[in-house]
A and B are shown apart, each in its own frame.
Chain A
Amino acid sequence: MDTPGTRPVPAREQDLNALMAAYQRGDGNAADALVTKLSPMLYRFLTVQSGDRRHADDLLQETWLRIHRARHTYRPGEPALPWIYAIARHTRLDAFRRRRWERREQGVLTLPERAAPAASDARSLPDLEWLLAALPQGQREVISLLKIGGLTLEETARATSSTVGAVKQKAHRAYERLRQLLAEEGAR
C-alpha cells in the first residue's frame, strides 16, 4: 500500500494551526474562517461514516458545538487536524450509540443497511461512498481520514486513539477488500 502523500485539504495545515490559535484568543474572523474551511471536509467524513447526508448535517453542527466547547484543549503549535477529527469521530460514535439505544428501546434490534449509491456510478469512476460502504467500520474510518481528511498515518493514529501499526494494518486490509470488490465488479 502506498502511504498517502498528497493532502486534499483546502487549507494548509500551518494556516489551520494559526487559525486555531487565533480562535482560542477569541478572534471572530478566525472562527469564521475555520467553520468555512473545515465544514465541507468534516461533512464528507461524517457522510461516509453515517451513510446519511441529512444526518451528517446534524452531526456537523454537533461537531462544531463540541469543538467550540473543547477549544481550550487545543495546544498551539500542535497539528490541528487530529484534534478536530478526534472530536468529529466521537460525535459520530456517540450519535451512532444513541440511535442504536433508541432503536433498541423501540424494539428494533438492528440498524438498517447502508444504501448503496446508483450502480451507474460504479461504471466510470466508483463513488467514494460506494467504495467505503463495502468496508467494516474501522477500515472505513481509517480510509476516510487518510483520503478525505488528508491526514498522515501518524495523525490518523492520533485521531482514532490507535497506533500507526494498527492504522497501517486496517488500511492494508481495506485495500485488499477493495481490490476484491473491484475485481468482482469487473467480472460482472
Chain B
Amino acid sequence: MNGRDIDELLSQSAVRNAETSAPDAAAVNRARAAVLESLTPVRPLPRSPLLAVLFVGICAAAGIGGGIALRILGWPALTPLQRSAIFPLLAVLSAAASLLCAWEMVPGARRVRARTVFMVAFASLEAVFLLTFSDHSMGRFVHSGMSCLGAGLIVAAPVAILAIAIMRRGAVLDRSSGAAAVGLVAGLAGLCALEIHCPNLRVWHVAVWHMGVVAIAVGVAVAISGLAVLGGKREG
C-alpha cells in the first residue's frame, strides 16, 4: 500500500464513520438549550495587533516609568553602542511577547510557542550583554544583584497583573503558555527599568541578576498557572 492508498482508505473510513457514528440526540439538545438559554450579542475581541499594541504600551510605560522612578543612573553610564544594542532589542522582544499574549487570547490563533520566544529572547539578550559589556569583575556580586533583582520584580509585578486582567477578556486555552507570555512581557518591563536605572555595568551582574528578572517572572507566572490548574482539578 502506498500513501495514496492509505489516504483513500482513511477518507472512506471517515465517510463510513460519519454514517454510523452520531451523538446522543438528548446530549445535543441539552447543549443547544444551554447555548440558546444565555444567548446575547457579544462584541468580537479587537484584532491581535491592536491587543499587542496595548501590551507593548503597558510594558513600555512600566519599563520607562519604573526606570525613571528608580532614578536614571544607568542610561548615562551606557555607551552609545550599548544603548543602541539593548533598547531596540528590548523593543522588538517586547513586541514579540505582546503579540504572543494577544494570540494566546484567541483559540486557534497561536502561531509560535511561548517557549520558543522565551528562549530566543533570553539567548539574544544574554548575547548582547556578553558582547557589549567588558567589565568581568565580580565586586559585591550578591548584594548589588539582590537589590536589582528586587527592583526589577517590583516593576514586573504590576505589568503581569495588568496583562492577566487583559488576557482574561479572551479565551486562553493553554494556561501555562499564556502565563509564560505574560511573564515574558512583565520580565522585559522589569529588565528595561533596570537598564535605565542601574549604573553597574559588570557583565555578570547584568547577565545574572538583570536577566534573572526575566527568568523569574516567567517561572513564577508558569508556576502560578500550574497551581491554579492543580487547584481546579482538586475542586473537580
Contacts and interface: CB of A to CB of B under 8 A. Distances in A.
Interface residues of B, number: 51
Contacts of A131: 9-10, 13
Nearest to B10: A147
A18 interface: no
A21 B180 CA distance: 31
B18 A8 contact: yes
Contacts of B10: 128, 131, 143, 147, 178
B16 A125 contact: yes
B17 A35 contact: no
A90 B12 contact: no
A43 B21 contact: yes
A82 B15 CA distance: 21
Nearest to B24: A57
Nearest to A71: B42
Contacts, number: 173
Given A68-B35, A72-B42, A74-B44, A8 B15 contact: yes
B40 to A, nearest CB: 5
B233 A125 contact: no
B119 interface: no
Contact of A128 (B6, B14, B24, B170): B14
A44 B47 contact: no
Interface in A127-153: 127-129, 131, 143, 147-148
18 contacts: A1-B3, A4-B7, A26-B42, A43-B22, A44-B18, A60-B31, A61-B31, A68-B38, A72-B42, A73-B44, A73-B45, A75-B45, A83-B107, A83-B109, A147-B13, A147-B14, A158-B108, A161-B113
Interface of A: 1-2, 4, 6, 8, 23-26, 28, 31-32, 35-36, 39-44, 47-48, 53, 56-58, 60-61, 64-76, 82-87, 90, 97-98, 101-102, 125-129, 131, 143, 147-148, 158-159, 161, 163, 175, 178-179, 182-183
